[in-house]
């Protein structure tokens, strides 16, 4: 039976037009993919930083273990107000950076010191296990929830016999709380790390948002050229409190804005470590605080960053430096490891909310 005229037309269209449309579609998809630009050249890790107590002085290390919740020992402790158990940070009290944790690998001990607020004592000090067992925690701490931003999470609070002298340092009553990286009450990620955005469940201890902050040294160098010209000032990347610092491309500062997936290559034969870059890190004025002296600069680097780094459509009132990340795989990190960007995007947009 002869095909109807309309059927014949449909067949002709499918034979000749459909391939053309298919070609145009995939060509367009490829064009969309390429708008973020080519992959940058590989670089290397030049620094690793751990901040055991949130908002207190950090440690520069040569190696660190990357856990699903972030670097081991990073922001697993936190000072809170009493009796509200709300988190305390440098934002309200720049002196917190004078509280210095040190780690003794031989004894697996974290020792915390701070300047004494009076002339009687030379310094405030206490020591605690860096990786406390459940038995130790049961004997020496109590369970108590604490609030960090809009979320409340389960923690272990240390005795006031140990931390009580720090009340004078803060000029108010405080408590020290701890959250282990493996917990029956994990603190789930929100914002760009929420399951519906990230595509999987993930958690962290006491970082503001994501488990890991990656910084680019070439971007700091570019910022310093501006600060040097304007105020004869240069700053240290430690002000931005990154976990992983990479050398970057001197000819492409701020290229990290488009990173989407990164791969860190350990020794030959070991599986690579992969991180999903979730968003840019929107900055407050914490980087104005010198990490060693606790002196807060009145304007910088905040003013300089505000002039040209308000680049995220999701949070236009804050400047950005660094990229927040969630580990997809874990392992041991070392300074000098190869750091590769395996995927880029021009779709990063900060989702507000803590």
Task: Please report whether residue 65 resides in a domain.
Answer: no
Can you give the pTM of this predicted structure? 0.89
Looking at the structure, tell me whether residues 178 and 80 fall in a common domain. yes
| Domain final residue pick, 155, 185, 215 | 185
Looking at the structure, tell me whether residues 199 and 315 fall in a common domain. yes
Task: Please report whether residue 349 resides in a domain.
Answer: no
Task: Please report whether residue 211 resides in a domain.
Answer: yes
Contacts of 317 (CB under 8 A, 6+ apart): 310
Q: How far apart are CA 108 and CA 87, in angstroms?
A: 26
Closest CA to 101 of 61, 142, 45: 61
Q: How far apart are CA 289 and CA 90, in angstroms?
A: 8
Q: How far apart are CA 24 and CA 29, in angstroms?
A: 9
Looking at the structure, tell me whether residues 328 and 218 fall in a common domain. yes
What is the reported pLDDT for 123?
93
Looking at the structure, tell me whether residues 198 and 329 fall in a common domain. yes
Output the tens digit of pLDDT for each of the chain's 354 residues.
Answer: 444 554 444 444 444 444 434 444 444 433 344 478 999 999 999 999 999 999 999 999 999 999 999 999 999 999 999 999 999 999 999 999 999 999 999 999 999 999 998 766 789 999 999 999 999 999 999 999 999 999 999 999 999 999 999 999 999 999 999 999 999 999 999 999 999 999 999 999 999 999 999 999 999 999 999 999 999 999 999 999 999 999 999 999 999 999 999 999 987 778 999 999 999 999 999 999 999 999 999 999 999 999 999 999 999 999 999 999 999 999 999 999 999 999 999 999 999 877
Looking at the structure, tell me whether residues 340 and 213 fall in a common domain. yes
- What domain range is 103 assigned to? 75-185
Looking at the structure, tell me whether residues 147 and 290 fall in a common domain. no
Q: How far apart are CA 250 and CA 241, in angstroms?
A: 21
| Domain final residue pick, 139, 160, 185 | 185
Model confidence pLDDT, tens digit, residues 107-160: 999 999 999 987 667 899 999 999 999 999 999 999 999 999 999 999 999 999
Looking at the structure, tell me whether residues 275 and 323 fall in a common domain. yes
Domain count, the chain: 2
Structural contact between residues 48 and 245, judged by C-beta atoms closer than 8 angstroms = yes
What is the reported pLDDT for 270?
82
Rounded to whole angstroms, what are the CA distances from 316 to 171, 188, 309? Answer: 35, 25, 9
What is the reported pLDDT for 120?
65
What is the reported pLDDT for 21?
42
What is the reported pLDDT for 353?
79
Structural contact between residues 325 and 212, judged by C-beta atoms closer than 8 angstroms = yes
What is the reported pLDDT for 269?
72
Closest CA to 80 of 131, 156, 132, 189: 156
Task: Please report whether residue 321 resides in a domain.
Answer: yes
Edge-to-edge strand list for the sheet holding 141-148:
77-81, 174-178, 151-158, 141-148
Looking at the structure, tell me whether residues 178 and 195 fall in a common domain. no
Q: What are the structure tokens assigned to 108, written together?
A: 């697996």
CATH code (residue 279): 2.40.33
Contacts of 117 (CB under 8 A, 6+ apart): 168, 169, 171
| Domain final residue pick, 185, 218, 250 | 185
Looking at the structure, tell me whether residues 311 and 276 fall in a common domain. yes
Closest CA to 66 of 211, 192, 188, 203: 211
Q: What are the structure tokens assigned to 109, written together?
A: 């001990």
Looking at the structure, tell me whether residues 289 and 216 fall in a common domain. yes
Looking at the structure, tell me whether residues 194 and 340 fall in a common domain. yes
Looking at the structure, tell me whether residues 194 and 128 fall in a common domain. no
The radius of gyration of the chain's CA atoms, rounded to the nearest angstrom, is 24
3-state SS assignment for residue 267: coil
Contacts of 17 (CB under 8 A, 6+ apart): none
């Amino acid at each position: 039976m002869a095909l109807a005229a309309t059927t014949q037309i449909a067949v002709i269209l499918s034979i000749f037009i459909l391939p053309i449309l298919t070609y145009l579609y995939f060509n367009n998809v490829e064009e969309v993919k390429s708008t973020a630009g080519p992959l940058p050249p590989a670089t290397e890790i030049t620094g690793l930083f751990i901040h055991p107590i949130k908002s207190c002085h950090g440690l520069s290390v040569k190696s660190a273990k990357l856990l699903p919740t972030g670097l081991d020992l990073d922001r697993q402790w936190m000072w809170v107000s009493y009796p509200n158990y709300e988190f305390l940070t440098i934002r309200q009290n720049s002196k917190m950076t004078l509280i210095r944790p040190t780690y003794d690998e031989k004894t697996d001990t974290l020792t915390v010191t701070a300047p004494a607020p009076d002339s009687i004592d030379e310094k405030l000090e206490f020591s605690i296990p860096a990786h406390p067992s459940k038995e130790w925690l049961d004997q020496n701490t109590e369970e108590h929830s604490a609030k960090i931003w809009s979320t409340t999470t389960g923690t272990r609070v240390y005795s006031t016999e140990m931390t009580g002298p720090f009340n004078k340092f803060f000029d108010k009553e405080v408590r020290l709380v701890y959250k282990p990286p493996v917990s029956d009450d994990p603190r789930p990620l929100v914002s760009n790390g929420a399951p519906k955005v990230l595509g999987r469940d993930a958690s962290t201890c006491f970082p503001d948002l994501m488990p890991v902050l990656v910084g680019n040294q070439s971007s700091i160098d570019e910022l310093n050229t501006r600060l040097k010209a304007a105020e004869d000032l240069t700053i240290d990347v430690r002000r931005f409190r990154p976990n992983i610092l990479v050398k970057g491309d001197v000819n492409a500062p701020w290229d990290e804005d488009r990173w989407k997936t990164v791969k860190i290559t350990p020794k030959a034969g070991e599986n690579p470590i992969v991180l999903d870059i979730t968003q840019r890190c929107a900055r407050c004025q914490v980087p104005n605080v010198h990490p060693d002296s606790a002196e807060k600069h009145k304007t910088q680097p905040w003013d300089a960053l505000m002039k040209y780094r308000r680049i995220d459509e999701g949070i236009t009132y804050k400047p950005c430096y660094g990229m927040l990340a969630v580990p997809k795989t874990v392992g041991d990190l070392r300074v000098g490891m190869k750091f590769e960007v395996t995927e880029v995007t021009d779709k990063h947009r900060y989702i507000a909310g803590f």
